[in-house]
Amino acid sequence: MPFFKSMGQLPRRQFSQFRQPDGAMYFEELTGHVGFFGDGTTMYHRNSPCAIKGAEEVKLAEPKMVSNQPLLPHHIRPKALSFVGDCVTGRIVLMGNDDLTMSYSISTNPSPLYRNMVGDELVFVDSGSARVESPFGVLLVRRGDYVVLPSGCTHRWVPQGDGPLSLLIVETTGHITFPEHYQTARGQFLSTAPFNELHLRGPEELLNFDERDVDILYKSRGGFTKYTMDTHPFDVVGWYGCMYPYALNIWDFSPVTGSFHRTPPIHQTFIGPKFIVMSFVPRKFEFDKEAMRTPPHHSNPDCDETLYYMSGNFRSRDGAGFDEGSMSLHPGGFTHGPQPENLERALSIDATQETAVMIDTFSPLKLSTEALKVQDPSYLKVWQRS
């Protein structure tokens, strides 16, 4: 997050004596990415943030991943899976490669305290609402939010409201940024960008937990470890910096429309290590009287293309069966496009109400055996005619 934010009580300068009311010093913690050459934050704890009372390995079930061979398109329905537990330990991996995994989760239970040390997480709130608690405070999130959790940020998901919390979760192996062409050289959003700083929401209210012997689930490149810490990590009286969890709602993305078809880069929202996230939101169709109102047939040999259909009507091929909660995978180089009758039919429609999240990956995706259990076996038939 390249925008400075501060909250709570702070000393006059970094690395200085900053004392609590009883005269003891606060515990200053500097946390930053890329060996302190990247975004970072300085925070002030009431208690030492490094007092470990125990550590034990945790074995979570590993997903079984299968290569997409023979190379085929897929339609899966993640909501048909059986979910147990919470949105951290109960998430089910759908697809992945060496750069990222995509999981889905439906839960009502609060997650454990969780700290992913491998890479940032990008979580899309498909339905429900939650408090995301962290040392930076409380981030309230709702349906349609993208939530970016920087690596190393201890946090906890606490579902709110009556319905379950449904999440599409991208675990990365690096850091998530915005498309460079949306920003000035110094990082401010340009007026031509589809969203800007006004739409990015950070934590609001600081927390002050006094619990002792607090368990935190760490994810590292080697696996999972449960640390028992002497004191609670959410005891921060103030912080400042550019690394903290934040949210962007998909419906704050202002779509670009044109007289003729515009290709997917106009939907770019986030960039990660070897993947791009794009937002499709309700918008007018192409308006020139000679314009096609469907995408052309297309193939991109460099990217696997996934699309999660959140809500609305979907411009897809007849018989595809895409509905809210569907997820498609069109592998790199697979040519796909509209049927002849759809080319004509679309000419009488001037807008779409669809909301969907597209994730293009620059390495081939494998599918999990769980995802294959809820795939539509008839999807290939959609492509067995012109």
| Residue 265: Cβ within 10 Å count | 12
> Cα(321)–Cα(70) distance, rounded to whole angstroms?
22
> Cα(218)–Cα(115) distance, rounded to whole angstroms?
5
Beta carbon nearer to Fe ion, 109 or 300:
300
Least distance to Fe ion, CB of residue 264, Å: 7
Least distance to Fe ion, CB of residue 306, Å: 10
Beta carbon nearer to Fe ion, 39 or 305:
305
Least distance to Fe ion, CB of residue 307, Å: 7
Beta carbon nearer to Fe ion, 313 or 335:
335
Give residue 11's region: left, alpha or beta (phi > 0; psi -120 to 50).
beta
The first and second tokens of residue 77, run together, are: 């329905």
Binding mask 135-154 for Fe ion (x = CB under 5 A): --------------------
Helix (H) or strand (E) run with residue 372 in it = helix 369-373
> Cα(85)–Cα(96) distance, rounded to whole angstroms?
22
Pairing of strands 304-311, 121-127: unpaired
- Non-local (6+) Cβ contacts of 102 within 8 A are 93, 94, 95, 96, 168, 169, 170, 306, 359
The residue range among 196-204, 303-311, 341-349, 377-385 that interacts with Fe ion, by the rule CB under 5 A, is 303-311
Least distance to Fe ion, CB of residue 298, Å: 6
Which residue is closest to Fe ion by CB? 305
Least distance to Fe ion, CB of residue 78, Å: 19
The residue range among 20-28, 111-119, 305-313, 350-358 that interacts with Fe ion, by the rule CB under 5 A, is 305-313
Least distance to Fe ion, CB of residue 10, Å: 48
Query: Which residue, among 105, 125, 67, 44, has the nearest Cα to 310 in the 3D structure?
Result: 125
Beta carbon nearer to Fe ion, 253 or 280:
280
Residues in the chain: 386
Restricting to residues 30-59, which ones interact with Fe ion according to CB under 5 A? none
Beta carbon nearer to Fe ion, 136 or 334:
334
Backbone CA torsion sign across 107, 358, 285, 75: negative
| Residue 28: Cβ within 10 Å count | 16
Helix (H) or strand (E) run with residue 343 in it = helix 340-345
Q: Which amino acid is at 214?
A: V
Count residues contacting Fe ion (CB under 5 A)?
Answer: 1
The residue range among 138-146, 253-261, 304-312, 340-348 that interacts with Fe ion, by the rule CB under 5 A, is 304-312
R_g of the chain computed on alpha carbons: 22
Beta carbon nearer to Fe ion, 160 or 300:
300
The residue range among 4-12, 180-188, 300-308, 364-372 that interacts with Fe ion, by the rule CB under 5 A, is 300-308
Least distance to Fe ion, CB of residue 305, Å: 5
Beta carbon nearer to Fe ion, 31 or 316:
316
> Cα(119)–Cα(103) distance, rounded to whole angstroms?
15
Helix, strand, coil abundance in the chain, percent, nearest 5: 10, 40, 50
Least distance to Fe ion, CB of residue 300, Å: 8
Beta carbon nearer to Fe ion, 244 or 275:
275
Least distance to Fe ion, CB of residue 319, Å: 17
Beta carbon nearer to Fe ion, 60 or 256:
256
Restricting to residues 309-348, which ones interact with Fe ion according to CB under 5 A? none
The residue range among 15-23, 75-83, 93-101, 299-307 that interacts with Fe ion, by the rule CB under 5 A, is 299-307
Q: Which residues bind Fe ion (CB under 5 A)?
A: 305
